[in-house]
Amino acid sequence: MTKLLWLVDNPLLLPDFWLEKMEKEKGWKIEIRDRESKVLNFIDYDRIFILGDSLSFTRERLSLLAYEWKVNPSKIQVFPWEEVKIVFPQSFFSILEQFIAQSLAKPLAPLVAERVVPENKVLVLPQASQTLDQALKEKGIETVVAPSSTLRREGINFHLFPSGDTVGAVVVSPPEEITPPVSFSSEVEDTRKLVDLKFMEKEIEKKDFRGETIIFLLPKRGVTEKEWLQTFYLSRLLAKRDRAEIFVLVEEVLVAGENLEKEYRQARSCGVIFEKVTFSSLFAQPTLDMRGIEVEFTTERDRLKRKIKADWLVSLPERNVLPFDLAPFFDSDRIEEAILPLANPNLSSFSPGIEGIFVSLPGEEKNLVQVIEKYLTQGIVRERGRVEVNEEKCILCLTCLRTCPWRAVAIEKERKKTRVNWELCHLCGLCASFCPAHAIEIKGLSFEDWLSPVSLGGEK
């Protein structure tokens, strides 16, 4: 009897008569469990089938499941339940039956899902800012600063030349440029009413701003979440406690995230006025008595021209991350194309999409270090033995090397052979599909296996 485990969204969807028939005719002992339920021993089963929306089960997710369940990854198969149900409702069970029969007919490939953990060290390029350095120290992550080094990827780590050091991650900390959100004339500065957030934080503790008008200016780029929260908090306090008239002029309001949205709503409910304004059209000049600053702007919503006499103008700086060329640091010309997203680091998130390379953006250092710490301690799960290059068939055309989006293919210099680095391979299958010599085999992952009965409407 073949023991099969089926993980489904809704166990009631499979009729008992069909299951009994499969047991009697095919010798399949099918145990059905809810996908969320805990199954204590996955290794007891000959195969594990996940019946569901196949698109949500990426190869990486399946590798992780294989690792957690301690089973050979090729034992886990996803049956595209949702898709087949929609396209072939009449022949659904016949397709399912063929899918299982085909899976069972193939011997299991000798695969292992393994966790690959990088070296707990990072290289910061070109050098860590004070905040980043501090955040890395707090997490006990050793940093290597070697601006004259070149790097080469070796497995999941990076090897540094000439020092011979190995690091698990590279953090790019591009230089930043800090500018005022609007160019203020020296006369405006002379009023001494143009202040920053820190000044307001201190003053609010000792001074009453009753009846005064305060404008906060928040540019589009480089305002941290902490600064947004602080602005919401201060403006609310000034409006509520001191009954001050508060305007928050912004280019974009950042309210993503539960906490920010709550603070934003609270500030608004206390009477704080938020106005979306294009800062390039904003004009500031001292009031005639030099006791304040007159701010002129056009509201974006109704294109109204407004002029406000402010007693205080709280201006937050705009921070721009400058483009930073990583290519000279890497011992490979191909890295340049891989790090293209860094050409505009203001648009990048923490990772430019290359495993082990992170981008540090101003104000986000602590969050970034949490991500890095997780990566360095937990690493990634990969399948050893899944992709194999047949050396006899390979004609060394290097198509796979050029195709692989994850830089997992290398040429062994000594033997002049193509090699797939399983630690980096994401099992996307591109190399195999482009190889003109059909020399690359991805074991246990054949698209035709389920496509053929499906495309025949289950009649095969």
Residues in touch with ligand SF4 (CB under 6 A): 387, 389, 394-400, 403-404, 406, 408-409, 418, 420, 425-431, 435, 437, 439-440
Closest CB to ligand SF4 among 100 and 420? Answer: 420
**Under a CB-based contact definition with an 8 Å cutoff, are residues 19 and 11 in contact?**
no
Closest CB to ligand SF4 among 180 and 429? Answer: 429
Provide the minimum distance between the beta carbon of 417 and ligand SF4 in the complex, in angstroms, as a whole number: 9
Provide the minimum distance between the beta carbon of 78 and ligand SF4 in the complex, in angstroms, as a whole number: 18
Run of H or E residues at 320: strand 318-321
Residue 130 backbone phi and psi in degrees, to 5: -60, -45
Provide the minimum distance between the beta carbon of 360 and ligand SF4 in the complex, in angstroms, as a whole number: 27
Provide the minimum distance between the beta carbon of 55 and ligand SF4 in the complex, in angstroms, as a whole number: 18
Run of H or E residues at 338: helix 335-338
Provide the minimum distance between the beta carbon of 412 and ligand SF4 in the complex, in angstroms, as a whole number: 12
Provide the minimum distance between the beta carbon of 397 and ligand SF4 in the complex, in angstroms, as a whole number: 4
Provide the minimum distance between the beta carbon of 160 and ligand SF4 in the complex, in angstroms, as a whole number: 24
Q: How far apart are CA 348 and CA 368, in angstroms?
A: 12
3-state secondary structure of 424: coil
Q: How far apart are CA 325 and CA 221, in angstroms?
A: 21
Cis peptide preceding 341, ω within 30 of 0:
no
Closest CB to ligand SF4 among 338 and 439? Answer: 439
Q: Name every residue whose Cβ is closer than 8 Å to that of residue 349 and which is 6 or more positions away in sequence.
A: 359
Question: Rg of the chain over CA atoms, in angstroms?
Answer: 30
Provide the minimum distance between the beta carbon of 155 and ligand SF4 in the complex, in angstroms, as a whole number: 14
Q: How far apart are CA 18 and CA 96, in angstroms?
A: 11
CA distances in angstroms from 185 to 190, 191, 195, 220, 316, listed in the order given: 9, 11, 14, 21, 16
Strand 112-116 relative to strand 380-384: parallel, antiparallel, unpaired?
A: antiparallel
Q: Is 213 left (phi over 0), alpha (psi -120 to 50) or beta?
A: beta
Q: Which tokens sit at 317? A: 């700086």
Q: How far apart are CA 342 and CA 323, in angstroms?
A: 7
Q: Which tokens sit at 1? A: 């009897």
Q: How many residues does the chain have?
A: 460
Q: How far apart are CA 403 and CA 396, in angstroms?
A: 13
Provide the minimum distance between the beta carbon of 411 and ligand SF4 in the complex, in angstroms, as a whole number: 8
Closest CB to ligand SF4 among 369 and 404? Answer: 404
Buried/exposed code over 207-241 (b: 16+ C-beta within 10 A; e: otherwise): eebeebbbbbbbbeebbbeebbbbbbebbbbbbbe
Q: How far apart are CA 420 and CA 422, in angstroms?
A: 6
Amino acid identity, position 390: N
Q: Name every residue whose Cβ is closer than 8 Å to that of residue 68 and which is 6 or more positions away in sequence.
A: none
Provide the minimum distance between the beta carbon of 152 and ligand SF4 in the complex, in angstroms, as a whole number: 18
